[in-house]
Amino acid sequence: MSRDGSANDATVRITSKAAFSRIVNGTEEIVAGWFDDIVYLDRRKLLYKVSIGSALVYNTKPKYGVVNSSGKLIIPVEYNDISYLKCDIIKAIKDFTNSSGITISRYDLFDLKGNLILRFDNQVQSVSALFNTILVKYNNGTFALYNLSGERLNSCDQNYTSCNYSPFIYCNSPGLLVSLTDTNGITTVYDAKKNWREVLSPTAGNVSFMRSEIVVTLNGKETHYNPLGIEI
């Protein structure tokens, strides 16, 4: 079964166990090599996840790469897993076996053109998207935030032990409240959709979100704030 997607004046056609091709002026052109499988990585961005090798055919685990809508291989077919993050970042994981026989994982993060922007060697548990930001959880349980250029956020440039978030709409304006607790137990609240503007200054209290309110509990007393950081 094939699935079609448009790419400029061409039609991209992907078929399981077939070549990646496109139709230009009624003529089919093979624009990438043969793969064992080709699926959409993200349909809207016209990115395709390709693989070579399968347990059924080769008795091996497949390796994955990424092809763009022009048929260009922008990420080599050498990764154990590839996924698309909603902040327009491609996450690729490559497993290695060290000299002790232990499997370790490397995380490579690419932009949509296949440019490498971040690499983490055996120190990361997970990588996810938080609005327009890359959220990295390290093996020691701490979190760090990076922009889409691979740089640490200026406003949140340290490691954190806790990261919680809650979307809200206040006065018809949407936002995303994010609470970050540092290694000293101090929590600061930001609005990620307002360029990570600080909403609530650092506090030693426990911070939680209730609807569109920020609740700070300190010494058994609750204080409520609106999404602008004003006490209510």
- Enumerate the H helices of 92-229 as residue ranges: none
> What are the structure tokens assigned to 49, written together?
């996840």
User: Hey, is 193 helix, strand or coil?
Assistant: helix
DSSP state of 172: T
Give the per-residue pLDDT at 150.
Answer: 93
Q: Parallel, antiparallel, or unpaired: how do β-strands 206-210 and 187-191 relate?
A: unpaired
79-91 pLDDT, tens digit per residue, is: 999 999 989 999 9
Residue whose tokens read 């996810």: 128
Query: How does the average pLDDT of the chain come out, rounded?
Result: 83
pLDDT in tens, the chain (232 residues): 233 333 333 444 444 444 455 555 555 555 455 677 777 888 777 787 888 875 444 456 789 999 887 777 899 989 999 999 989 999 999 998 888 888 889 999 999 999 999 999 888 999 999 989 999 999 999 999 999 999 999 888 889 999 999 999 998 889 999 999 999 999 999 999 999 999 999 999 999 999 889 999 999 999 999 999 999 9
